[in-house]
Amino acid sequence: MKHNIDILAIGAHPDDVELGCGGTIAKHISQGQSVAIIDLTRGELGTRGSIEIRDLESRKAADILLVKDRFNLGLRDGWIENNEDSQLSLISFLRHLRPKIVLCTAPNDRHPDHVISSKLIVDACFKSGLKKIETQWEGKTQHAYRPVNLYHYIQFYDLSADFTVDISDHFETKMKAINAHSSQFYDPLSVDSKTLISSKEFYDSISARSIEWGRSMGTAHGEGFIAERRLGVSLLTDLL
């Protein structure tokens, strides 16, 4: 089975991927792995910023992470639906990019878009492998393709992780990518409306959670993930 890229990270909003798995993305790119990002919406319902500002911030964050390709599905922020049209749109990207691994939104979270997106992505990944579902890319019929693995990064809620990734050497890059979304997060000089995620408390919690996940595996920083299926290893010594 041919893979065009190693990892595809998908978020409901333009900053979800950076918050949930930015360190993991940076680490794998540093090891020569290929990574792409898909944002399902442009974050147009966000209290702060605008579509144009968020588009620029998304590109800046991708450049910091060294992600070559970042796409936007153009679904409606706040009104994401797990329906046929949304699934087919995502399936076309899955069959075009052919990722080995998909990283996606949390299965349970504070923002409804995250939860709906999670099921949408899981369903699209499965149906992408069904030959009788027809899609096209640039006028050409696509071949069926299903990613090998799908993992959920953890967002606002404190969900239990099935495994953690050591991002100690890439935590600063993750934070720089988050800071690229300056319209959304803590800025003491900002005169924009205050939101939960623009608070200093939320900003500080990013580091605190990363340190806690790192502590659980004996490292400085980590990111937690939930597996869509049971994990397995060939040898016990493969586990840290």
How do residues 10-64 score in pLDDT, each as one tens digit? Answer: 999 999 999 999 999 999 999 999 999 999 999 999 999 899 999 999 999 999 9
Q: What is the Cα–Cα distance from 126 to 147, expressed in whole angstroms?
A: 8
| Residue 228 predicted with pLDDT over 80 | yes
Mean pLDDT of all residues in 122-128: 98
| Residue 122 predicted with pLDDT over 70 | yes
CB neighbour class for 51 (10 Å; exposed up to 12, middle 13-18, buried from 19): middle
> What is the pLDDT at residue 1?
60
pLDDT in tens, 62-95: 999 999 899 999 999 999 999 999 999 999 999 9
> What is the pLDDT at residue 239?
83
Alpha carbon distances (Å) from 61 to 55, 138, 183: 10, 27, 13
Tell me the residue type at 85. D
The domains of the chain are located at 5-230
> What is the pLDDT at residue 187?
87
Q: What is the Cα–Cα distance from 51 to 182, expressed in whole angstroms?
A: 13
Name the pLDDT band for 190 (thresholds 50, 70, 90).
confident
Domain 5-230 has CATH 3.50.50.60: no
Q: Residue 8 in 3-state DSSP? A: strand
